[in-house]
Amino acid sequence: MYNYSVILTKWREILKKVSDFGGDARELIIEPCATQQEIEDKEKSLGFPLPSSFKEILLHFSKHVEFRWFLPDNANLPNEFKEIFAGEIGWSLDWIEDLTPFGLEIESHECVDLDLKHKLKFYDVGNGDILAFDMGSGVEPNIVYWSHEGEGVFYIAESFTSYLNKITDLYGVGSEMWQMQPFVDEYGINSNGSKANRWRNWFDTFSSISIDVARSDLDSLIKYVEFHGKIGKEELKALKHYEKNLVLEKVLERLKIVDECQKEILIQVIGEVLGIFVEDWVRLLWKDTIEIKPEFRSYLTSRCLPMQEGLSIVTSYVESLFAEKVKYYEARKHLCYFRNNKIIQWIKGYISDTTTKDDWYHLFACSQPTWGDIKEWLMLGGKYRMIAINALEYMTDSWSSTYIKDNYKVCNPPTIEEATSFLEEEKEKEILKSKKRVFDRIIQHLNLIL
């Protein structure tokens, strides 16, 4: 008989780890076992018996299980695990459904074979896909993953108990194929391979390092920041406690062995913690003696060199990338870190070469626009006006959207009454109702951006 106490203990340990590192560990739902009558009723409605190992679990463990967790938003995963955001395991006697009739109906009406014959569903994946028994695969049916987007049926495990053991060994990693993908090969879920070991090592390390423990050891502190993907006030204070040369040495060591996803936060450690202390090292980055991603180099230049020197270097670099015209997305990637009003004047020199689809408003919004800039660009009309309107809308959204990292304000603002009066006048110049509605929303939230 299957050892239910062992797997239950593992699930509880996983949920505790998730809770320890600040994730969302949902309540573990384990309902009572199914009765023999309930099993017989289900089998009668299906017209065939349930898989024996699954029936045993329903009768002796639980007829309905829900195990679910979510990583915290700031979890900074290695690139190979970047799609993983949650974990889930579940089944229910009530969810069991024979998909053959549905598949045959679709096939007869639309002449499309969805490959649902002999599939017995036990779990609906959140994206519309399905985990099922392949009832045509033998006495103890295989577990398969069916894609609703027509990508096919993927072999997952040789049996339900095998699936349960393997997915639990992977800490219940999410049921969507893109979350399981790193661990699935031609033999189904591989919970013993090198990727599985790296995943467990990342997960265990993430759950074992707290800021209270990490602040007393620099190596642990850097790992804590690396795994959590942020430098808050606590982390910044703890890092600044250490000798700067040692911090630089440790960070450079880590940069040699981590992937691009981890490198970004380590570069931020240099910029936010060391700053002007490493200005000579940052200047060397522009002499091609050190290999570094160009955007990282621009960020470090904005944080570690005197403002005018750094801005001059990066604007010259952006201009050198293009023979004919500067592309807004390259300019934004390199100049957004400076938060300097001079960039708005620099942008103005390239507006005449842009199309109406260019998104200069992002860079405009994060370059500390003054109220005078807003008024000037609105009254200039054309592309300038469009950029100013879009920038105001973007700045407004920055206070409510989870997709915009920073909050933006207008510098040297007028009173709300003065701004409202001016924007009402500008709204009346618009013909389209959709544009007028944009102005209304900006006016409604002026208190956020002024």
**Residue 389 CB-density burial (10 A; 0-12 exposed, 13-18 middle, 19+ buried):** buried
Instruction: Let me know: does 35 contact 42? Beta carbons within 8 Å.
Output: no
Spans in the chain with pLDDT lower than 70: 1, 103, 105-114, 150, 289, 353-358
**Residue 348 CB-density burial (10 A; 0-12 exposed, 13-18 middle, 19+ buried):** middle
What local confidence, expressed as pLDDT, does residue 355 receive?
A: 61
Distance CA 177, CA 368 (A): 43
What local confidence, expressed as pLDDT, does residue 409 receive?
A: 95
> Percent of the chain scored above 70 by pLDDT?
95
Distance CA 379, CA 347 (A): 17
**223 phi/psi in degrees, rounded to 5:** -65, -40
What local confidence, expressed as pLDDT, does residue 426 receive?
A: 95
Instruction: Let me know: does 88 contact 67? Beta carbons within 8 Å.
Output: yes
Helix or strand run (H / E) with residue 65: strand 64-70
What local confidence, expressed as pLDDT, does residue 209 receive?
A: 86
Partners of 188 in the β-ladder = 185
Classify 374 as helix, strand or coil.
Answer: helix
Going from the N-terminus, what domains does the chain have, and what CATH number goes with each?
A: 4-205 (3.40.1580.10), 306-449 (no CATH)
Mean pLDDT of the chain: 91
> Percent of the chain scored above 90 by pLDDT?
75
What local confidence, expressed as pLDDT, does residue 111 receive?
A: 47
Classify 132 as helix, strand or coil.
Answer: strand
pLDDT tens track for 80-126: 999 999 999 999 999 999 988 876 766 655 544 467 788 999 999 98
Count of beta carbons in the 10 Å neighbourhood of residue 166: 21
What is the amino acid identity at position 389?
I
pTM listed for this prediction: 0.80
- For the sheet with 153-157, list strands across it: 97-98, 119-124, 130-134, 142-146, 153-157
